[in-house]
């Protein structure tokens, strides 16, 4: 399970961003004392054991969104909700599952990615008594993995 938590955190922090402004290249957003890390990937790149441990399906047509919240450099619990929309503009509601491993908390969800496109994510992050909104775009390529 530790391997899962490390992989999901690495996805949030390490994968490159195409076409995003400089402030978002690290796939993070600051809300006062909270730092929100986020990233979406095609689920077929997950190792089978990691996908199984997180209850995720591996498929070239399913994406995974991972969100982690920190306060003062430490993992922080939050309530995450939101939607994703693709090139057709149709919104899909995202249902997040909390993954906790050795004090590290992250939230994962899966969504459909039927074609190479830029997907728009609109998230609500409730933590530390506040609700913050985060919207970002990310390109996904379902046939690549």
Q: What is the mean pLDDT of residues 115-133?
A: 96
If one counts the domains in the chain, the total is 1
- The two three-digit tokens of residue 136, written as one number: 């970002």
CA distance 139 to 118: 4
- Domain CATH number, residue 24: 2.60.40.3340
Q: Output the furthest CA–CA distance in the chain (Å, rounded).
A: 41
Q: Is the distance from CB of 114 to CB of 61 less than 8 angstroms?
A: yes
Q: pLDDT, tens digit, for every residue of 61-112?
A: 999 999 999 999 999 999 999 999 999 999 999 999 999 888 899 999 999 9
- The whole domain housing 138 covers 2-144
Instruction: Please name which of 129, 63, 139, 54 lies closest in space to residue 98, comparing C-alpha atoms.
Output: 54
- The two three-digit tokens of residue 111, written as one number: 């969504």
Q: pLDDT, tens digit, for every residue of 20-62?
A: 343 356 899 999 999 999 999 999 999 999 899 889 999 999 9
């Amino acid at each position: 399970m530790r391997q899962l938590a490390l992989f999901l955190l690495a996805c949030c922090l390490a994968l490159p961003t195409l076409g995003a402004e400089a402030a978002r290249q690290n796939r993070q957003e600051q809300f006062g004392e909270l730092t929100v890390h986020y990233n979406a990937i095609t689920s077929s790149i997950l190792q089978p054991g990691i996908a199984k441990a997180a209850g995720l399906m591996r498929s070239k047509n399913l994406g995974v969104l991972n969100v982690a919240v920190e306060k003062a450099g430490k993992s922080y619990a939050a309530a995450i909700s939101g939607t994703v929309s693709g090139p057709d503009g149709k919104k899909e509601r995202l249902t997040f599952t909390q993954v906790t491993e050795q004090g590290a908390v992250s939230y994962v969800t899966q969504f459909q990615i039927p074609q190479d496109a830029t997907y728009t994510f609109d998230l609500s992050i409730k933590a530390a008594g506040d609700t913050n909104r985060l919207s970002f775009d990310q390109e996904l390529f379902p046939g690549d993995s």
